[in-house]
């Protein structure tokens, strides 16, 4: 399985410079973020990725759309891989707004307000990651899946702190090594 952190978002730019929450809810990708995502598409094809699991935030949905420009694979919207609710960027867009913007995807399984209204504790985030890991390992078929997700979720699963559009090879069964960085594609 490949874990992919979304491309650079409007929130990432401001927060990276100030270390203060800029109050941007469900941010879009920047031009840099769009370029980062487009660059990964051929890499996913080379890794034989056959399906994307995508968090329902705008930044992950945009990243997935750009990945699919060069590697068109089916997408499943999966809220369990969402970001930890800790900043304004973790306030999502309502289900109906997402469905209107991305009619090619199915959002029917989401509540209208699908994100957490309260800050998620470390323990809760780790429990959600553990649940995801167990489900994927138990169900099998994870070898050709890429998950477009977030910094906090990747850190909870792997212990790694990764930059935007970083890819991590992840073994949900816990085999050694359970996670390793995938080299960035050459552009």
How buried is residue 169: exposed, middle or buried, by Cβ count under 10 Å (0-12/13-18/19+)? middle
Dist. CA 77–CA 93, nearest whole Å: 14
Mean pLDDT of 1-13: 97
Q: Supply 72's token pair.
A: 């068109």
Q: What is the pLDDT of residues 91-128, one digit of tens each?
A: 999 999 999 999 999 999 999 999 998 999 999 999 99
Task: Tell me the three state secondary structure of residue 169.
Answer: strand
50: DSSP letter: -
Structure tokens at 156: 């909870």
Longest dimension (CA), the chain: 42
Q: What is the mean pLDDT of the chain?
A: 93
Please indicate, yes or no, whether the overall pTM of this predicted structure exceeds 0.85.
yes
CA 40 to CA 187: how far, in whole Å?
10
> Which pair of tokens denotes residue 97?
């707004």
Model confidence at 9, in pLDDT bands (50, 70, 90)?
A: very high
How far is 45 from 61, CA to CA, in rounded Å? 18
Residue 35 tokens read as 């370029």
Structure tokens at 55: 């968090």
Which of 46-50, 61-65, 122-126, 172-176 holds the top average pLDDT?
61-65
Phi, psi of 46, rounded to the nearest 5 degrees:
-65, -30
Q: Is 154 helix (H, G, I), strand (E, B) or coil?
A: helix
32 has pLDDT over 70: yes
What average pLDDT does the segment 134-157 reach? 93
List of domains in the chain: 2-182 (3.40.50.1240)
Q: Is the dihedral of CA 1, 102, 113, 12 positive or negative?
A: positive
pLDDT, residue 185, reads 66
| Closest to 151 in 3D by CA, of 2, 7, 1 | 7
């Amino acid at each position: 399985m490949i874990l992919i952190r979304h491309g650079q978002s409007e929130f990432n730019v401001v927060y990276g410079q100030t270390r203060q929450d800029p109050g941007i809810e469900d941010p879009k990708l920047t031009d840099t973020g769009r370029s980062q995502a487009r660059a990964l598409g051929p890499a996913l094809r080379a890794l034989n990725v056959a399906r994307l699991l995508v968090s329902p935030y705008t930044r992950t949905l945009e990243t997935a759309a750009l990945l699919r420009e060069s590697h068109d694979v089916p997408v499943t919207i999966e809220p369990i891989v969402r970001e930890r609710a800790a900043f304004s960027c973790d306030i999502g867009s309502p289900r109906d707004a997402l469905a209107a913007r991305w009619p090619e995807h199915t959002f029917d399984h989401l509540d209208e307000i699908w994100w957490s209204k309260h800050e998620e504790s470390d323990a809760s985030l780790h429990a959600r990651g553990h649940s995801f890991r167990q489900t994927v390992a138990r169900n099998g078929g994870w070898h050709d899946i890429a998950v477009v997700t977030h910094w906090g979720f990747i850190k909870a699963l792997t212990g790694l702190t990764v930059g935007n559009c970083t890819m991590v090879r992840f073994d949900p069964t816990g085999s050694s090594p359970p996670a390793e960085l995938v080299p960035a594609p050459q552009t």
